[in-house]
Chain A
Amino acid sequence: MSKEVWDLLVVGGGPAGLTAGIYGARSRLKTMIVEKGRPGGQAATTEEMENYPGFGRGAKGPDIMKAMKEHAEDFGVVIKKEQIVDLDLTGELKKVITKKGDEYFARAVVLAPGAHPRSLGIKGERALVGKGVSYCATCDADFYEELEVVVVGNGDAAIEEAIYLTKFAEKVTIIVIHDEGILDANKASQEKAFANHKINFVWNSVLDEIKGDGMVESVVIKNLKTGELTEMETNGVFFFVGYTPNTDFLKDKVALNDHGYIIVNEKMETSVPGVYGAGDACEKYLRQVVTAAADGAIAAFAADKYLAEEEGFREQVLEADEPVLVAFWSPQNEKSIEFVSNLEQNLDEIGHVKLVKIDVYRNQLVANRYEVKEIPALLIINKGQLVGRLPGEFNVKTIKEAVAAGSN
């Protein structure tokens, strides 16, 4: 069976991956998204989502993500439910390997694996997951009708999910590490939380331990100012204390920062040509659905340009019948402009060759691949092979000899 090759393979089906899919498909790229669970990512488990442009008051994360998924499928994106466990990104043809052992091939890859809520590793936390310790309010809020819960954290997620929990729980206590009145969450959510009579705050404090035999029974709260430990009865503990990127499988595949986030530039390029990052797994300033979607759009656009350049280079240079002179130049470099102009005027004299100009400002990929560090530079490629490399001094005789030598 011949292997099926995708133009664009997207790892992850959250807002970043789905948007990359939409943009990829719209560029007529044969696009597949591989998602291990249900498309929608973390946004699909965020009940209230009133900050995504165009979807105002009362908007729900699951609804928005369902619309995004249908949008992608409507444009022809194939969504596969698989978990990627390994990748080979080094060659021009990228390979990903699923948990089941299936292999998929693609010419460009967008990595959008997202992030998951961080666990703190407090005593009792791990043992009581699913027994009162939770990281997902929409999953577990039902259990706490008429009961009391503790929320740890004070960013957007913590405050918004605490407000959501008050629809079920009798009392929600938020443990805040900062001084009284200081929250990291957006002002609109802060105001809602302060006005909610079911919400109580414990300031200057962290959780020290979660206690319970088979089910959460109480928490031990530590006051950071006084060092005092207080035990408080509760039925549940929800953690919203930041995120950990889902990038373990990307170690040694693309460059990650010290915290495991994918390092990308403004074009969402990773350290590997043809491989892009998008969404919460990337090193970035603001992690929101809207910025994830933006990343996905940029990544797919950049991937499309990359594929076009690769395609162009292959057709014009690597698959050409005659020897090709590849001239590296840039509109900003006077000497290189003069060099290319000289070449064009003397092409007939050089002989049966084709001239291809590469603007290094726009196409760094080819320059990097052939290790062209200074311009002007001239390469001779015959039948796809590099057969000559000439320095940037124009000399018809030298070029002619080099072409002749390379054509034998």
Chain B
Amino acid sequence: MLVLDKDNFEAEVLSAKGSVVVDFWSPKCEPCMELMPEIVALSEKYGSQVKFGKVDVSQNRRLAISQKVLGLPTIVLYKDGEKVAELTKDFVVDDVEGKIKELL
């Protein structure tokens, strides 16, 4: 999974063509740590069709807030730079997979 930060977010997500799944997480967020390996597994499954990236919010707070992400865990799906779906707090990996399938 691509490590995203304030320097590459614009190029890799907002100006990018196609679909991007972004996992907003922080090392202190237990639910995020629990979810991460499952998102990695999804990235292996769908990696050829969709780009996967992650943002460590503890290092990129302003970037997260600029994307109106103010709670973890949050997964945002972008298409051609536009936010098309968002899952926050109460969701499981199956919900993420469902959203990815809608995108394809």
Contact = CB atoms under 8 A, between A and B. Distances in A.
Nearest to A45: B30
A263 interface: no
A243 to B, nearest CB: 15
B30 A130 contact: no
Contact count band on A: 20 to 34
Interface stretch (B2-10, B46-54, B63-71): B63-71
B69 A130 contact: yes
Interface in B74-104: 74, 86, 88-90, 92
Contacts of B69: 130
A347 to B, nearest CB: 61
**Chain B contact residues: over half helix, strand or loop, or mixed?**
loop
A141 B28 contact: yes
Contacts of A83: 92
B57 interface: yes
A44 interface: yes
B34 A143 contact: no
A129 interface: yes
A140 B70 contact: yes
Contacts of A131: 68, 70-71, 88
Contacts of A44: 30
B30 A143 contact: no
Nearest to A135: B89
Interface in A122-165: 129-134, 136, 138-143, 145
Nearest to B25: A139
A40 B74 CA distance: 21
Residue from A37, A139, A235 having most chain B Cβ neighbours under 10 A: A139
The 4 A-B pairs at the shortest CB distance, nearest first, are namely: A130-B88, A130-B71, A38-B34, A139-B29
Interface of A: 37-38, 40, 44-45, 47, 62, 83, 129-134, 136, 138-143, 145, 214-216, 235-236
